[in-house]
Amino acid sequence: MKKTKKMMTGVVASLFTFSMTACSSSDSRPKEPDTDECKDWDWDEETQTYYCDDSSSHRSGYFYYGGRWFSNKSALQQSSSYKSYKNSSKFKSGIGSGTKGSFGG
Per-residue DSSP letters for 39-99?
Answer: S-EEEETTTTEEEE--TTSTTTT-EEETTEEESSHHHHHH-HHHHHHHTSHHHHSSTTSS-
CA pair distance 67, 3, nearest whole angstrom: 57
CA pair distance 86, 65, nearest whole angstrom: 12
Task: Tell me the CA distances in angstroms from 73 to 9, 12, 26, 66, one per residue in order.
Answer: 43, 38, 21, 14
pLDDT in tens, 66-76: 999 999 999 99
Using alpha carbons, select from 89, 6, 82, 84 the residue that is nearest to residue 44.
Answer: 82
Q: Tens-of-pLDDT digits for all 105 residues of the chain?
A: 666 665 555 555 555 544 444 454 456 788 999 999 999 999 999 999 999 999 999 999 999 999 999 999 999 999 999 999 888 867 665 544 444 444 444
The burial class, CB within 10 Å (0-12 / 13-18 / 19+), for 95 is middle
Which pTM was predicted?
0.61
